Amino acid sequence: MRSGRLIALVLFVVAAVVAGCSSDSEPSEPTMGEWHGGIQTPGTPLDIGVTFTSDGATIDIPVQGLAAAPLKDVRSEPDDVHWAIADVPGDPKFKGRFDSASDTIIGDFTQAGQSFPLTLERGRVAPIARPQEPKPPYPYRSEDVSYRNGEVTIAGTLTAPQGSGPFPAVLLISGSGPQDRNEELMGHKPFLLLADTLTRAGYAVLRVDDRGVGGTGGKLDEATYDDLTADVAAGVGFLRARADIDRDRVGLLGHSEGGYLAPRTAARPDSGVAFVISMAGPGVSGRDVLIEQNRVILTAGGATPEEVDAQVRYVTEWTEVLARGDLAGAKQVQLRHNESVPAEQRQSEAALDAVNTKYMASFLGYDPAPDLSALRVPVFAFFGDKDVQVPPAQSAEPMRALLAGTDSTVKIYPGLNHLMQPAPTGQVTEYVTIETTIAPEVLTDVTAWLTQRFPPKK
């Protein structure tokens, strides 16, 4: 599950690949061309690239993996350089000037009332190193597919070994919030890496866009867990109906919130699910997870005990109301809290509404205990001991107890965070700075666990 939406100001920006506009000739204005720099946000600077042309400007933010977003309100005269990012909460904008002595653009980036220094130097922003990211050509088949759950079309990518099969298959289920089929975040593509690893080992792998993302229809914020479970079940049905898939060996791998939806789907009568792999999936209710997540992240971030207690009281009250499905009542709790904090810490009404949804209510109100205890298929559940989003101290033991009596393995990896990266502290701000997408030992263990129980066709 993603943190930060309730406990801190998040820097929301739109990324774009810098449009090539360098020239062999001297630019007509000293600000024309490609620039790069780091917005000095707390913790880790956010590297960006800005390109000025005669037609305007674009911005590139590699960690967000987006492309070609134009800037608005652009002015690029030496004494007055400014631009803004359209349709992003907090009205993000830059204002500065060109300094001829240092050949830099110096100014401040502001968003939601907070200001961060930003100095731009000439040149293209450097891409982020992601050494594990798979690159074509691939030694397996890759096919864009789609299927339906009622009125919603679900789109994704199916990878499968060469040959006719039938192959055992894995459906990947992403964490909370709108995710694409690669579960791309902070410049990492965990599901692309998992799909590549497992397909090379002999498994077919289906990864899909969440509701409202990419080629998938619907709106995630309006969906309930019944809707999302039905989406997963539709994916299982799609796989089991294919001639190249072994219909009796189709399983689920869920990350974070996907670790809720996987057992919830597999526990249904006649689900057809053969196994469940839970990667940082919670063993307690969504409400309990969010409250503890706030406590752990704020404490690790240096908040005072009084600040932690105040935040936890607020989150406890808000989640209690929203978990009942009372969106109007939850909004009133949000507004009262917003008025109680300093003006620079207040969130916009749009930011409050973004987490005050049917989808969030369903997450908060879900208790995985009945579904976990009802599972009768093999389960591999694992956590990183530095995970601050789904703390293993809260979830691992309940998971073990609920899965007792089944073919289950519950493991905690030392030194890994919520994404299963080797991490210094586990804080969310580290995700982007870590080059490893998923620790190799995790990939090895998941593959070994599968091949021991569901060996691929030779």
Beta strands 276-279; 245-255: pairing state: parallel
Percentage of residues of the chain with pLDDT beyond 90: 79
Bigger pLDDT: 426 vs 457: 426
What is the per-residue pLDDT for 1? 55
Helix (H), strand (E), coil (C) string for the chain:
CCCCCCCCCCCCCCCCCCCCCCCCCCCCCCCCEEEEEEECCCCCCEEEEEEEECCEEEEECHHHCCCCEECEEEEEECCEEEEECCCCCCCCEEEEEEECCCCEEEEEEEECCEEEEEEEEECCCCCCCCCCCCCCCCCCEEEEEEEEECCEEEEEEEEECCCCCCEEEEEEECCCCCCCCCCCECCECHHHHHHHHHHHCCCEEEEECCCCCCCCCCCHHHCCHHHHHHHHHHHHHHHHCCCCEEEEEEEEEEECCHHHHHHHHHCCCCCCCCCEEEECCCCCCHHHHHHHHHHHHHHHCCCCHHHHHHHHHHHHHHHHHHHCCCHHHHHHHHHHHHHHCCHHHCCCHHHHHHHCCHHHHHHHHCCCHHHHHHCCCCEEEEEECCCCCCCHHHHHHHHHHHCCCCCEEEEEECCECCCCCECCCCCHHHHHHCCCCCCHHHHHHHHHHHHHHCCCCC
Beta pairing partners, 277: 253, 380
What is the per-residue pLDDT for 455? 97
Least confident of 27-31, 98-102, 324-328, 408-412: 27-31
Is the pLDDT at 22 greater than 60, yes or no? no
CATH architecture assignment, domain 141-284+367-453: 3-Layer(aba) Sandwich (3.40)
Is the pLDDT at 141 greater than 90, yes or no? yes
| Band of residue 67 on the pLDDT scale cut at 50, 70, 90 | low
What is the pLDDT averaged over residues 246-252?
98
pLDDT digits (tens, 9 = 90+) for 328-386: 999 999 999 999 988 777 887 888 888 999 999 999 999 999 999 999 999 999 999 99
What is the per-residue pLDDT for 21? 33
> 313: Cβ–Cβ under 8 A, 6 or more apart, which residues?
none
| Band of residue 35 on the pLDDT scale cut at 50, 70, 90 | very high
Beta pairing partners, 205: 159, 170
pLDDT digits (tens, 9 = 90+) for 272-317: 999 999 999 999 999 999 999 999 999 998 999 999 999 999 999 9
Is the pLDDT at 75 greater than 60, yes or no? yes
